Structure 1
Amino acid sequence: MNLILLEPGDFQSADSASPRAARLAQVRGRRLQHILEVHRADVGDVLKVGMLDGEIGEGVVLQRDESGITLDVSLHRAPPPPLPLTLILALPRPKMLKRTIQHATALGVKKLYLINSYRVEKSYWQSPWLAVEQLREQCLLGLEQAVDTAMPQLELRKRFKPFVEDELPAIAADSLKLVAHPGTDTPCPVDIDQQTTLAVGPEGGFIPYEVEKLQEAGFQSVHLGPRILRVETALPVLLSRLFPGR
């Protein structure tokens, strides 16, 4: 945890008579455990903190015990800029889903659609990891790792064809449209300086019908070379090629 993420509910009421009270945050639960066991913070120590969907700054430990930590918070700088990217990702298997969402969030993806595909097993859509609170938790872990505060927009789409035909054209409008597909002749471009929509298939890739539907929607097929990579490996490689240094 490289950043302690705070939410409005962590702060004392802004209606308090003391202006300072609005800066005092109470940290409990998983974050408290991390501060106590990893940071080993004591009174007077300074921690890097950020307001969810807000600014980043510092929090001075005013008080600590096993029930909570009180921080005096000062926020003064913006989070890192998001990638100019919308990611369309075939739903990974549950064990991979958590890591993939964390990686995508840490790398700056702010718009993510998890979609169905022929090679996505139906049982994947029944995974408890798709619960709203579980998806949110993985996004928070990615933000904490990357020292970011901007929560990504994450949407689920269980039907491939209606999504590609009815929604994707508007989602991908005025962007460079790419689909990662190992069977194509075109290498993935490097250092893109424009809004991009990237579609990444499941293990084994999109089937030919799905690639054709994406191409009909204006997507160009690109590859990463002769090696076949797992989705959790291919995704950071793709993003590092498209947006190096971001």
Structure 2
Amino acid sequence: MNCILLPAANFSGDSAQINTVAQIAHIDKVLAAKVGDSLKIGQLGGNLGTAIIEHITPENIQLRDVQLTMAPPPKLDLTVVLALPRPKVLRRLIMDMTALGVRDIILINSYRTQKSYWQSPMLGRLDEFVLEGLQQSVDTVAPRISLQKRFKPFVEDELAPLISNRAIVAHPYAALSFSQYLQQQALVTPEKNEILSVDSSSSNKTAFLPSIVFIGAEGGWIDYEVELLATQGCQAVYIGQRILRTEAAVNVILGQWLL
């Protein structure tokens, strides 16, 4: 935890309290904080700041001089549509996407998603994983998460209105690389009709990044799914010569928004 996030109900004026077992244990065992020390805190959905530890017990930590003066970092203009992965990697993926600042996360069914995944108790712990990601990245605003158990109806009936600035689908057998895709988008600006030279360090790069990214679970998307997405304007791209695990692909692709 790089900050301690608390719900609004835990604040009262310039004081606050921490009563979550995991947070208390972190402050005690990892930070080794004591009365009088300053903590980096934040209010869920609100601002970030600091507070002073006033009193510590095994069940509760009282804070004083709460100062919440810093706005959270902006979210990425990005929706990630992720084929529901194996439950054991769901926690890491939700944490990573939250930490990276993804604005919207849609967990969707796919041909290679096992039906049993939708009954996993891990789906009931998404808020917990989001909190871990927020505390890691020092953010307070949670991504919006939705579940879509039917792939075709979502793509045909709901996807188009969500695409505000292009969409891509990660597919290792695509003919076009992600880098080539960005170069194509940057060739001509509709405003000035001028040729641009855009590389990975260009400040203009974010203007050509898509607003929606589809990432498959282990095994990726089948051809039918890629073709159906193409009918809605989603461009298939590959990110390198190696086939990566889902969690590696998520971090490689989303890292483009942070560069």
Normalization by structure 2: what TM-score? 0.87
Asked if the contact 2:98/2:133 (under 8 Å) is kept, the reply is yes
Alignment of 1:115 with 2:108, yes or no, is yes
Give the ranges of 4+ consecutive aligned residues of structure 1 lying more than 6 Å apart after TM superposition. none
Question: Which deviates further from its counterpart, 35-44 or 190-199?
Answer: 190-199
User: Is 2:70 the partner of 1:80?
Assistant: no
Q: In the alignment, is residue 6 of structure 1 matched against residue 22 of structure 2? A: no
Partners of 2:54 and 2:136 lie apart in 1 by 24
- Find the partner of 1:206 among 215, 221, 224: 221
Percent identity at matched positions?
Answer: 47
Cα contact 2:167–2:210 (8 A) shared by 1 = no
CA distance in 2: counterparts of 1:2 and 1:244, whole angstroms: 19
What's the offset of the Cα at 1:86? Answer: 0.6
Which AA in structure 2 matches 1:31?
Q
1:176 correspondence with 2:166:
yes
**Cα shift at 1:182:** 0.6
Name the aligned partner's letter for residue 76 of structure 1.
Answer: T
Shift of 1:219: 0.3
Given the two structures, how large is their TM-score scaled by the length of structure 1? 0.91
Alignment check: 8 A CA contact 2:94 2:129 kept: yes
What is the CA distance between 1:244 and its match in structure 2? 3.1
1:71-220 aligned within 5 A: 71-72=63-64, 73-131=66-124, 134-172=125-163, 174-188=164-178, 189=182, 191-193=205-207, 196-220=211-235
Number of residue pairs matched? 232
Deviation at 1:192, TM superposition (A): 2.9
Paired with 1:66 and 1:49, the residues of 2 have a C-alpha distance of: 19
Shift of 1:10: 1.0
Tell me the distance in 1 between the aligned counterparts of 2:175 and 2:38. Answer: 52
Alignment partner, residue 248 of structure 2: 233
Matches of 1:80 and 1:25, distance apart in 2? 23
Amino acid at match of 1:222: V
- How much has 1:195 moved relative to structure 2? 5.5
Q: Distance in 2 between matches of 1:144 and 1:244?
A: 18
2:197 — aligned with what?
A: none
> Are the counterparts in 1 of residues 177 and 238 from structure 2 also a CA contact under 8 Å?
yes
Instruction: Look up the SS of the partner of 1:76 in the other structure.
Output: strand
**Deviates further, 72-81 or 154-163:** 72-81
Secondary structure of 1:144's aligned partner: helix
Asked whether 1:34 is paired with 2:14, we answer no
Tell me the alpha carbon deviations over residues 77-122 of structure 1, each in whole angstroms, 9 at most, x when there is no partner.
Answer: 1111111101111001001101000000000012000000000000
Question: How big is the alpha-carbon RMSD for the aligned residues of Structure 1 and Structure 2?
Answer: 1.1
Q: Which runs of 5+ in 2 are unaligned?
A: 183-199
- Give distance in 1, aligned partners of 2:94 and 2:57: 33
